[in-house]
Structure 1
Amino acid sequence: MVIVSANNAITVKPMGRMAMKFDSIPSGITAFAPLAAFVAAFGLSVTPASAQSPNAAVIAANCAVCHGQGGAGAGDVVKINDKTPAQITEAMVAFRDGKKPSTIMGRIAKGYTDAQVAAVANYIGKK
């Protein structure tokens, strides 16, 4: 593959394929032009992290650090394995929005999107 960059335009010539010409590159991303050309040349696509489905098992593993294995509770930390998905979602959203007092949960919950909260609540919650 040959990538030619000139005057804020790039031409990609993959081996054995027709050349593809991109007339302009948005300002500020010219450093990424070779990468963009590579992706375009091979028809690759990347899904942004925000659009990917949340991995509930990974998030739930973070919960186990404080709430114990399987959410059974540990010391003064609340048991969560007896809560329904709706109860977990309600608590996480309240922590995240500062409507429920906490020591650490408010800061942790702020890092999760609605989709991630729902995924982990459904993963951990009592059915």
Structure 2
Amino acid sequence: MESYKIWLIAGAVLSGIAGLLHLAIILGGAPWYRFFGAGEGMARAAEAGQWYPTVVTLGIAGVLLAWAAYALAGAGVIALLPLLKPALVAITAVYLLRGILFVPALMMKTGSATPFALWSSLICLGFGLVHLLGVAQGWQRL
């Protein structure tokens, strides 16, 4: 198997796990929102039975699962999806920018960064690098 396909499949697995984890957070409720750093406001809203945390988290899960599908399409595991190349570039860029810029932006705004912000940024940076390797190596074949 060509190495770019391995990187894109790995990216799909990572995005898929993140998407499924967001679905699990909905099921886990307020304690899970707190543990995974969604903030006290989201946790309290979930405790109160408000729809907002569920809708937002479902939206994030949907995006992450769509990104997994695009990575799988790029690897040739599933059928091609529309705008595959620009979508993979955008997905890679979002992960990398989230990984690189979130903590500095947070520190400029609030003066500090939480452990969640640091860890989630490192995770996003890792996801972005995996996607970048797949996209860069497979550029001519995508």
TM-score, normalisation: structure 2:
0.28
More helix by share: 2
Larger RCO (CA under 8 A, 6+ residues apart) = 2
Larger radius of gyration: 1
More strand by share: 1
